[in-house]
Structure 1
Amino acid sequence: MSNFEELNNEQKREILNFFKEKYKVITMDATFGELEEKGYYNPITMTLDGVLLRIEKVDFKFNHTILFEGSKFRSGKGAIGVECIVHYKDGEWQIKESKEIWIS
């Protein structure tokens, strides 16, 4: 979440806790390089011990709508990029549209 300049630390913790509670996994705020330094990346198999979620582009639209591009990386042959439109309605964010934009 190093590029989430609009969020404070509490908001970042809320995002991490969401994934931790929903998927019952260990969550952390780290870049690929930081995960590599901590030993989570195996350069021989080119795989990550876990999943790296990234948000590359964010475009805040009018009417509580956000367009973003993101990706999920586990390995060079296990990654996917998506483009999503989410809308804030009835007190929660809901996916309005989502599509794959690349896959490896």
Structure 2
Amino acid sequence: MKIKFGSILLILSLFLTACNIGVDPKEHLGEIYSVALDSIMEKDEALSSEMKFIAIDMSNFDDGLSAKDKEDIITFFKDKYKVDVMDATFDELKEKGFYDPEKMSLTGVLLRIEKMDFKWNHNVFFEGSKYRSGLGAIGVEGTVHYKEGTWQMKESKETWIS
């Protein structure tokens, strides 16, 4: 009876340990944010027409995001979209002269992640936005998940448009 109970306990503990082995999303924040922001960037391509820059508002990103992660995100967008990329809020963009008050719009786009929710099954839910002007902006929500050794977009959809 002791051998049977011990065997069951051993198998159960091995099974539970195997379920816990995996990737910690907090160790891959740069990659997760890049995938999420890029999915937002790909929505409503008209907002990106003739853009002179991409600004990414990183002011509310997770505290675990390192300076290197932030630089990797900026480099990813520079390489992919071939425009200037910066970490800036809307107010900072206005101060730097990137907002045209006559057209009431930016000369580029501003990407934001408003919410990031880490789920237990290697899924990360996010809500974000892409802004060009008061009449040219979209909201996006989606899920990034870990599959085959990389973080990938599982699904994303527009949730609002102005």
TM-score by length of 1: 0.94
Q: Any idea what SS the aligned residue of 1:72 has?
A: strand
CA RMSD of aligned residues (A): 1.0
Q: Map 1:14-93 onto structure 2 (within 5 A).
A: 14-93=72-151
How many residue pairs match? The answer is 104
Query: 1:3 — aligned with what?
Result: 60
Name the CA distance, whole Å, in 1 between partners of 2:116 and 2:64: 11
Q: Cα offset for 1:8?
A: 0.9
- Structure 2, unaligned stretches of length 5 or more? 1-57
Which stretches of structure 1, 4 residues or more, deviate above 4 A after TM superposition? Answer: none
**What runs of 5+ residues in structure 1 fail to find an aligned partner?**
none
| Identical residues among aligned pairs (%) | 67
Return the offset for 1:92.
2.3
Greater fraction of residues in helix = 2
Highest RCO, 1 vs 2 (Cα 8 Å, sep ≥ 6): 2
- Greater share of strand: 1
Deviations 1:12-49 (A, max 9, x none): 11111111111111100000000000000112211001
